[in-house]
Amino acid sequence: MQFGIKAWLRHPKMMLNRLRYAQISTKITCFYASVLLLVLLLTSGLTGLGVFFSFYHQAEVELEISMNHVLKVMEQGRSIDMDFGRDDLVLPGVVLRIVDSRGKIVYENDVHYPPIKRIEESTVKNPPFWANKNMQVAQLRNATLYHARMDVEYRGQIYQMHFFKTITAEKHFLETLQKILFLMTILGFLLALVAGFFVSRRILQPIREMTATARKIEVEKMDRRIAVPPARDELAELAETFNHMLDRLEGGFEQQKRFVSDASHELRTPVTVILGYSDLLSRWGRSDEAVLDEGIASIRSEAENMQQLIEKLLFLARADQNRQVLHKENIELSELLADIIKKMKLVTKDHTVELLQNDDGMIYGDLVTVRQMFRIFLDNSTKYTPKGGRIVVVSQKVINAEGSFMEVDLSDNGIGIAKEDQQKVFERFYRVDTSRTKVQGGVSGTGLGLSIASWIAEQHGIEISLTSELGEGTTIHLRIPLCE
């Protein structure tokens, strides 16, 4: 035990390191106890110094007044004898003794006061710093006094005038007062430690409850939430922030689970078809050329669908991890739209595609992904518009107080989207119903295209809105900022 104490004393850094890694409640307790100890020490010290200073200062002032008064009386020609102090030369409490050159007392106003020799023998060699340097301090058994000496010449003789003033006759009282102040300081420090310990634990109890709740939360059970304290303080704000974070995490986990489930489902279908046709070919393909052609065509079709799905999944995965690289540059939007519509007309034989208005405007973006975004919207229009339908694109430049924009509308007269589904179509793998995915002779979608388009638009500051009516068609509104 002694070795441990010595080690602590020899290595104060060890104490600081221990305190640095201690619990918050311990740090708070030590901090406030230290502050209180410092305040108590300062208060006790200043109180003691104030008491002593007031006693010394009062005695010093009375001695100086008495000495000045005696000098004035001598200037008036009063003789130095036993009647020298007949009219209260000095203030009450001040003792005056006049000694001639042989050491004989010529005058004294208090014969019971200790003799000069004894007082001089009791003079303190190192008086307190607040004592007058021109006066001596004598320490008797139970009293402290000032001693001031003044030499005067009267009628050719030299006299010594000794002035005495008791600073305090309550030495034991002052010592007791100092001890009491010291003990009160130590007791206050200990009480601060104990009270600080319990108060800090009480204050930090909500944090412990938050920690306990957080430990119980698992990925499979994210429905638990931290109780928000009734007081609207920092802890309540922390609990609300933590609960909000848990809500987002739970939503993210649910979205991830749904994403994995949907991706697995989407991949399972083509894999099942490929395995089925592979089994069919292994049995009948060698002898039946029609079965062989059908099997090869179906396997190729499903492999292409699976390849597209995997590419879209990889795109979204890179986007989620902020690893999707965009090479932005100035792009003339009218030229891009004209090129997209021109190529679309070449491959779309069952629909009428028109670019009614195409204003000039320069945008800043990634050419590849912006082109991909427009193609996704247009592919959706062709996919969910019956044969003979009409797809119209209008690009109009708008300038207002907010800046200059290109407003692009992509409209079709297809099957439309119900009101309750319009806010969900940009979610991953979301498809309204099976009929919407089988309009074009069995062509189905993965439900990822609009999610990719939404991400591309967000990266370019493009605002997307949608208006649609069942059986009447859908219009995608794009508000694209132009270069100044």
The three-state DSSP-derived secondary structure of 227-296 is CCCCCCCHHHHHHHHHHHHHHHHHHHHHHHHHHHHHHHHHHHHHHHHHHHHHHHHHHHHCCCHHHHHHHH
For residues 96 and 370, give the distance between their C-alpha atoms in angstroms, rounded to a whole number: 109
Residues 6+ apart with CB under 8 A from 68: none
- pLDDT score, position 441: 46
The class of domain 326-481 in CATH terms is alpha beta
Q: Distance between terminal CA atoms of the chain?
A: 78
For residues 116 and 95, give the distance between their C-alpha atoms in angstroms, rounded to a whole number: 11
User: Residue 114 gets which letter from DSSP?
Assistant: P
- Sequence spans of domains, the chain: 1-215, 234-318, 326-481
* pTM for the whole structure: 0.50
Examine domains 234-318 and 326-481 and report if their fold is the same.
Answer: no
For residues 261 and 327, give the distance between their C-alpha atoms in angstroms, rounded to a whole number: 33
Distance of CA 100 to the CA centre of its chain: 81
For residues 457 and 481, give the distance between their C-alpha atoms in angstroms, rounded to a whole number: 11
Architecture of domain 234-318: Orthogonal Bundle (1.10)
Q: Are strands 157-168 and 144-154 parallel, antiparallel or unpaired?
A: antiparallel
**Torsion of the alpha carbons at 62, 68, 70 and 74, rounded to the nearest 10:** 180
**Which amino acid belongs to residue 344?**
M
**Torsion of the alpha carbons at 40, 41, 47 and 53, rounded to the nearest 10:** -170
Q: Round the CA-based radius of gyration of the chain to a whole number and report it.
A: 50
Residues 6+ apart with CB under 8 A from 427: 447, 451
**Which amino acid belongs to residue 122?**
S
- pLDDT score, position 391: 93
- The beta-strand segments (E) located in 327-456 are 328-332, 352-358, 362-366, 390-400, 403-412
- pLDDT score, position 215: 76
- pLDDT score, position 442: 44
- Token pair in block for residue 241: 């922030």
- Token pair in block for residue 468: 């649609």
For residues 415 and 413, give the distance between their C-alpha atoms in angstroms, rounded to a whole number: 7
For residues 249 and 214, give the distance between their C-alpha atoms in angstroms, rounded to a whole number: 13
**94-99 β-sheet, strand order:** 105-108, 94-99, 157-168, 144-154, 136-139
Q: What pLDDT tens digit does each residue of the chain (484 aa) get?
A: 444 445 544 555 555 556 565 566 667 777 777 777 788 777 777 776 777 777 788 888 888 888 888 888 887 777 777 667 667 778 888 888 888 888 888 888 888 888 888 888 888 888 887 788 888 888 887 788 888 888 888 777 888 889 998 877 556 666 677 778 788 878 877 887 777 777 777 777 777 777 777 777 765 567 777 777 776 777 778 788 888 888 887 777 776 776 676 667 667 767 887 888 788 777 776 677 777 788 788 788 778 777 777 777 777 777 777 777 888 899 999 999 999 999 888 888 889 999 999 999 999 999 988 998 998 899 888 888 888 899 999 999 998 888 899 999 999 998 888 888 877 887 776 666 544 444 444 445 567 788 888 888 999 999 999 999 888 899 999 999 998 6
SS (H, E, C) 381-392: HHHCCCCCCEEE
